[in-house]
Amino acid sequence: MKSFLTGHAMGTEARELVNTCLSQIGDIPDEANLGFIYATDALATELEHILHLLKQATGITHWTGTLGIAICVTDREIYDQPALAVMVGSFPEDAFLPLDNLTKSVDGFVTKHANWIEKNQPVFGILQGDPTNPATPDLMENLSEALNGGFFAGGLTSSQSLQLQVNGDIVTNGLSGILFSPDINVATDHTQGCVPIGPRHRVTDSDRNIVIELDNRPALQVLKEDIGEILSHDLNRLGGFIFAGLPIKHSDTGDYMIRNLIGIDSDRQLLAIGEILQADDEIMFCRRDGNAATEDMLRMLENLKTRMKGKPPRGGLYFSCLGRGRHQFGEDSEELKMITEVLGEFPLVGFFANGEIYHNRLYGFTGVLTLFL
């Protein structure tokens, strides 16, 4: 199959944006049948018109994507302006399946497409979700389970206005995207932006997202020991620097998910984190670390380079965290440039998410790269 085709543009007028993207894309082959679209949230009110124009001009009816506060293309991160990124590719018609917009349950979709799912194991999916729907994490896990271990990459919409996704048409409040059969050769991996600063601790007492005790000791006392004396004297400095890491059970790679520390009660020695906890869950404290993030990014890229076996990708999708990009690597698109430096130049689009999807879980401060080989 041929290389994917990409275009991007900055501006506020839908027709000009689409025309600029299409001029960069050039002649679209007749077999092109799937498009990816990522737009900054400044274009939220124009997204439906943009999608209509793209369908009209390309003849492609299947489009997937979402809004981001920032978006990315090959070698470039685009912030603080209305911008559009588009990529089109060709796939066998029976090798991909658009999701319904799943808002409450996956059962109806799974029943309706049981034959396709059964014939196309294992299933890989590119997903986008609405961060305002509290059911989104469960929908993701339930879909993976219903697909007999479906593996996903993607992200949650990031927008300061409307929370819109593209799923054939404009949708909202759900989990949507595209499922691919194993006939579509992909390689995907993720990279962390935070590193542990202490050992794993066992949750011995909690109330929903309130950590009361770790290892049978007051939770705040344990945190202070891990972060050290200097930070312990000024807990206000922890925001945006110290996080809770939740080790993934049965992971053979030591993988973990980052969650925010959202509150500290010094009087009662309590912590609040951005996740519901159960007794005997494990937690470790982590810090944002630019050097470690760069090292882990390069590790991911070298791993993917090995899996490419010397052949350039036909196209790629990159989903990074709003807290990465210029906030962690620098103002000159360093995060995206690392991808090109290691893997070479290839068609790529993506966005900076409000939570990153990898496998069947929601991550934070993470980059997720998917290559179509």
Indicate if 200 and 284 belong to the same structural domain.
yes
Neighbours of 222 (CB within 10 A): 22
The upper half-sphere exposure of residue 164, i.e. CA atoms within 13 Å in the direction of its Cβ, equals 22
Q: Domain end: 288, 306, 324, which one? A: 288
Average pLDDT over residues 151-156: 99
Are 362 and 140 spatial neighbours (Cβ–Cβ below 8 Å)?
Answer: yes
Q: Which of 91, 113, 94 is nearest to 102 (CA)?
A: 113
Average pLDDT over residues 183-195: 95
Indicate if 22 and 145 belong to the same structural domain.
yes
Q: Domain end: 258, 288, 318, which one? A: 288
Indicate if 184 and 205 belong to the same structural domain.
no
Hey, what are 186's tokens? 């992909």
Share of the chain above pLDDT 70, in %: 100
Span 82-115, pLDDT tens digits: 999 999 999 999 999 999 999 999 999 999 999 9
Distance of CA 191 to the CA centre of its chain: 11
Hey, what are 365's tokens? 């401060």
Domain span including residue 94: 5-191+293-372
Residues in a beta bridge with 129: 156, 175
Span 289-345, pLDDT tens digits: 888 899 999 999 999 999 999 999 999 999 999 999 999 999 999 999 999 999 999
* pLDDT computed for residue 58 by the predictor: 97
* pLDDT computed for residue 252 by the predictor: 74
Indicate if 74 and 149 belong to the same structural domain.
yes
Number of domains present in the structure of the chain: 2
Q: Cα dist. 125→10, 31, 117, 174 in Å?
A: 29, 21, 12, 15
The upper half-sphere exposure of residue 29, i.e. CA atoms within 13 Å in the direction of its Cβ, equals 15
Q: Domain end: 254, 288, 322, which one? A: 288
Indicate if 177 and 208 belong to the same structural domain.
no
CA separation for the pair 60, 44 (Å, rounded): 21
Residues in a beta bridge with 128: 155, 176
Residue 1 banded pLDDT, cuts 50, 70, 90: low
Are 197 and 285 spatial neighbours (Cβ–Cβ below 8 Å)?
Answer: yes
Average pLDDT over residues 213-234: 94
Indicate if 303 and 346 belong to the same structural domain.
yes
Average pLDDT over residues 166-190: 98
* pTM score, whole prediction: 0.92
Span 115-149, pLDDT tens digits: 999 999 999 999 999 999 999 999 999 999 999 99
Share of the chain above pLDDT 90, in %: 92
Are 187 and 373 spatial neighbours (Cβ–Cβ below 8 Å)?
Answer: yes
Indicate if 61 and 175 belong to the same structural domain.
yes
Question: Quick check: 11 pLDDT over 80?
Answer: yes
* pLDDT computed for residue 182 by the predictor: 98
- Length of the chain as a residue count: 373
Distance of CA 189 to the CA centre of its chain: 11
Indicate the average pLDDT of the chain.
96
Indicate if 284 and 298 belong to the same structural domain.
no
* pLDDT computed for residue 296 by the predictor: 93
Indicate if 269 and 298 belong to the same structural domain.
no
Residue 254 banded pLDDT, cuts 50, 70, 90: confident
* pLDDT computed for residue 171 by the predictor: 98
Indicate if 29 and 172 belong to the same structural domain.
yes
Which CATH number is 245's domain given?
A: 2.40.30
Indicate if 324 and 280 belong to the same structural domain.
no
Indicate if 75 and 169 belong to the same structural domain.
yes
